[in-house]
Amino acid sequence: MKILVTGFEPFGGMKVNPTSMLVENLQEEGVDGFEIYASTLPVVYDQCVETLLTKINEVNPDAVICCGLAFGRSSVTVERIGINVKDTAGEGLKGDNQGDKPVDERIITDGPDGLFSTLPLRKIVNDLLAEGIPAQISNTAGTYICNNTLYGVLNYFRINHHQALAGFIHFPAIPEMTVERPQIPSMSYETQYKALKTIIKSLKI
Ligand code: PCA
């Protein structure tokens, strides 16, 4: 089974984004029984989906697992749905990495309001919990770049009747990122890495 895993570059003034390290390290190490391809996407509304689709067309994966950082969340969250909204006003965000700050916009003018992830969400969460990793289904990926990417890939697969699975996983901050804000929850890089491997293995039919 061929899997494309993506992470994101740093954003919002942070120096690192653990998801980029997670996917690049996973590609290097590999997972038995899977062909792993990794890519780091830009935190830019106008480029994230395009970059992802280019990679999808290059790799032709059976499943696409996009990963992003959810600073402030305490567990690995498996996203259920991408919504047709771009909004930086409600999230206290300063805009994307190129300064784009959409407010209350639709991603695709005449697109569906929402699109469901096609990953086996409940199985993934149960497999993570069985490994002792805090995890839950999330019913919102926000309205920033991660949601935009999830909605974009699901909409592309919908329009093109593409059979590959696609979905999104949010990961917490790593402890090094919360030193100056100790009230923010974090999860060790090692646990996050184990989580990503577990998620891939959950896809085995
Ligand atoms: N997290 C952000 C964008 C990039 C990332 O890793 C988000 O949740 O939208």
> Which residues touch 75 (CB under 8 Å, ≥6 apart)?
133, 134, 135, 136, 172, 187
Which tens digits make up the pLDDT trace of 95-113?
999 999 999 999 999 999 9
Concerning whether 66 is annotated as a catalytic residue, the answer is no
pLDDT of 93 strictly over 80:
no
* Ligand 1 pocket check for 82: Cβ under 6 Å: no
* CATH of residue 81: 3.40.630.20
Residue to substitute in 8, 9, 41 for testing ligand 1 pocket (most ligand atoms within 8 angstroms of CB): 8
If you search the block for the tokens 């997972």, which residue do you land on?
A: 31
The dihedral of CA 83, 81, 51, 39: what is its sign? Answer: positive
Q: Ligand 1 centroid to 65 CA: how many Å?
A: 14
Q: What pTM does this model have?
A: 0.98
Q: What range defines the domain where residue 161 resides?
A: 2-201
Q: Residue 90: what pLDDT?
A: 75
Is 43's C-beta closer than 6 angstroms to any atom of ligand 1? yes
Q: Residue range 2-11: average pLDDT?
A: 98
Count of domains observed in the chain: 1
How far is residue 192's CA from residue 173's CA, in Å, rounded to a whole number? 10
